Structure 1
Amino acid sequence: MSVALRDAIKTMVKETFEGPPGEGSMFTESRPNSGIFGTLNQLSADEASIAVNETTIAAHADHTRFYLWGTNIILKDGKQPEMDWEESWKIHFVDEKRWKQIQEGLRHEYVTFWERIDTIEWNELLIKEALASLAHSAYHLGAIRQMLKAVKM
């Protein structure tokens, strides 16, 4: 993979999770903390457990963690692990402890992904996986931010 492509992926992944680097943005709001972590940090466990269209922000957050976990395995081993996609959506209520665990798990998978981008031997499959993970995470950021409007009413 070219250095320019690798760096572009890292920039977009960082914006998705941490928010924009300062003034301006590629696709999130320009204000600080508009990425996944900043958005989730403003929610209590009770708020993350409010159902919006039959799912919760907690479920979206954990599903994003689960997807990133799978991506990290693929980037490490070159093949997808067995994954129970339905199980990743079964979170309906979290207490503060579980909510913190979900956020910490998501941050761990993000850091692993971020670091792995620099260290793996890239091929077409791995590039596609990294780009899919970026798109998937950005989608869930958008979904969470839309749900936030209903939760914070």
Structure 2
Amino acid sequence: MNHPLTTSVRQIVKETFEGPPSGGSMFTESRPNSGLFGTLDQLTANEASIAVNATTVAAHADHTRFYLWGTNAILKDGKQPKMDWGESWKINSVNEKQWNRIKEELRSEYVTLLEALDVTEWNKLLAIEISGSLAHSAYHLGAMRQMLKAIKDS
């Protein structure tokens, strides 16, 4: 049987990325496509490249992927990998191929994170990294949802 913490964290992580389950929402909008993947899928590469307050959705998405990659590396190896945070914000514009790659790599890191939740024993490192990734991803989801409104309204 799954630990209650594992079950609840998994549910919140899934809502962040996949959107709310059919029965309602814990913190995202209750409608479909309000998670990270649904939000990103609403944008073309050109729209994801529109700067809103000096950054793009493409940059936010890739930065979120980068953070998840770091979390997954820590969970796998038990130590922080070398990470150049500045590099994770350098994307200004993307073509359709680049945009699809960012979304695919974000989804891959998400799946890896979900697999890490299947560990049998929670420890301090796992709890900190998973909680940090969840908070970080939820923050960027909110930022991208606001950017989506500005992009679609223009």
Alignment of 1:1-153 (within 5 A): 3-119=3-119, 121-153=121-153
Please identify runs of 4+ aligned residues in structure 1 that moved more than 4 A.
none
What per-residue deviation string (whole Å, max 9, x for no partner) do you get for residues 6-56 of structure 1? 111100000000001112100000111110000000100000000001000
What per-residue deviation string (whole Å, max 9, x for no partner) do you get for residues 113-144 of structure 1? 00111036431122011000000000000000
Identity of aligned residues (%): 70
The one-letter code of the counterpart of 1:14 is K
Structure 2: distance between partners of 1:121 and 1:108: 23
Q: TM-score if structure 1 supplies the norm length?
A: 0.96
Matched pairs, number: 152
List gaps (5 residues or longer) in structure 2. Answer: none
Indicate conservation of the 8 Å contact 1:78/1:126, yes or no: no
List gaps (5 residues or longer) in structure 1. Answer: none
RMSD: 1.1
Indicate conservation of the 8 Å contact 1:76/1:120, yes or no: no
Deviation at 1:96, TM superposition (A): 0.2
Task: Point out the more displaced range, 91-100 or 119-128.
Answer: 119-128
Structure 1: distance between partners of 2:103 and 2:61: 7
What per-residue deviation string (whole Å, max 9, x for no partner) do you get for residues 40-89 of structure 1? 00100000000001000000000000000000001111111000000000
Indicate conservation of the 8 Å contact 1:52/1:147, yes or no: yes
Structure 1: distance between partners of 2:63 and 2:121: 27
The one-letter code of the counterpart of 1:68 is L
